[in-house]
Amino acid sequence: MPKKNGDENMEKRVHLVLSAMDLGQIVEGLEQRKIIWQETANYLRFGFTDLPVIIEECSKASEAQAVADHYKHIIQMIKDQCLAQAIEKNGATG
Domain-embedded: residue 42 = yes
Stated length of the chain? 94
Q: Quick one: pLDDT at residue 57? A: 96
Number of domain units in the chain: 1
Write the CA distances from 12 to 4, 19, 26, 79, integer angstroms.
12, 23, 20, 20
What is the pTM for the complete model shown?
0.80
* Coarse DSSP helix, strand, coil percentages of the chain, rounded to the nearest 5 percent: 65, 0, 35
Q: Quick one: pLDDT at residue 1? A: 44
Domain-embedded: residue 8 = no
Domain-embedded: residue 50 = yes
Q: How confident is the model at residue 60 (pLDDT cuts 50, 70, 90)?
A: very high
Domain that holds residue 78: 23-93
For residue 7, give every residue at least 6 positions away whose Cβ sits within 8 Å of its Cβ, in sequence order, or none.
none
Domain-embedded: residue 5 = no
Domain-embedded: residue 67 = yes
Domain-embedded: residue 7 = no
Domain-embedded: residue 77 = yes
Domain-embedded: residue 37 = yes
